[in-house]
Each structure stands twice: as C-alpha cells, then as structure tokens.
C-alpha cells in the first residue's frame, strides 16, 4: 500500500521569506500523481500544485514550486515570498495513475504540516 509521510508537524516562516515543506512517499508504481493541498482555517481544501510522475520538470504555480525527486521518492513544496494568507495546514497527497478498482483513484494523504507566517 502507498504511504505518504510529512515529517514536519509545524513550520514557521517570516513574511516575505521562503519556506520548504517536506514530503516523502512510498510506492512500487512508476506512474502516479502527487499533490499539495492547502487547508486554511476555513477548513476548505484547496489544490496548490500538481505533479505528474512521468514529467521530469518540476511544477510551478506562481510563488509555489516543487522539488520532485522520483528516485528518492521525495516531493517538497517551496513557498517563496511568503504571505500571511499562506498560513494553513498543508497536505501532501499521492494518487496512482493506474485505473484499478481497489484503488478507486483515491488520494492517499500525509498527516499534514501546519505553516505559520510571522509578520
């Protein structure tokens, strides 16, 4: 079974600085998706960024970028120019790209990292 590990329960960053959130995962598959979701105090889960495993290029969305190391099974999220609105719980998630009934295309989530932004 696939597992996702986020080893940092909490992180802090100064406003305008850069912070990196770590994520590792375990899978025997070669084709999959990886995601970072943000959960602000409102509790609504918001997709931050997506990475397809077959793509070597790291995904980027404005101030958010990832460092995808497939061989190391590592998928970290870098937030540049941190803003107060970035304060949230961040979840790393994995999904197999193969259509298998027993997987149901479900997302497997890590335990989350709370990010605090200091002004």
Partner 1 sequence: DGGITQSPKYLFRKEGQNVTLSCEQNLNHDAMYWYRQDPGQGLRLIYYSQIVNDFQKGDIAEGYSVSREKKESFPLTVTSAQKNPTAFYLCASRTGVDTGELFFGEGSRLTVL
Residues in touch with partner 1 (CB under 8 A): 4, 6, 9, 33, 35, 42-47, 50, 52, 91, 95, 97, 99, 101, 104-107, 109-112
- What minimum distance in Å lies between the beta carbon of 44 and partner 1? 5
State the Cα–Cα distance between residues 36 and 45, nearest whole angstrom: 10
Identify which of residues 44 and 119 has a Cβ nearer to partner 1 in the complex. Answer: 44
Instruction: Give the length of the chain.
Output: 119
Identify which of residues 101 and 119 has a Cβ nearer to partner 1 in the complex. Answer: 101
Inter-CA distances, 96 with 23, 68, 89, 111, Å: 16, 16, 23, 19
- What minimum distance in Å lies between the beta carbon of 98 and partner 1? 10
Decide if 40 contacts 24 (C-beta within 8 A). no
């Amino acid at each position: 079974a696939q597992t996702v590990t986020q080893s940092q329960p909490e992180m802090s960053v100064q406003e305008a600085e850069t912070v990196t959130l770590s994520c590792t995962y375990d899978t025997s598959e070669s084709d999959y998706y990886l995601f970072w979701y943000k959960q602000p105090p409102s509790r609504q889960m918001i997709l931050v960024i997506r990475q397809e495993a077959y793509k070597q290029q790291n995904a980027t969305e404005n101030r958010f970028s990832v460092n995808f190391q497939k061989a190391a099974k590592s998928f970290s999220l870098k937030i540049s120019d941190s803003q107060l609105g970035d304060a949230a719980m961040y979840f790393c998630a994995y999904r197999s790209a193969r259509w298998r009934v027993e997987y149901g295309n479900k997302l497997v989530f890590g335990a989350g990292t709370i990010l605090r932004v200091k002004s």
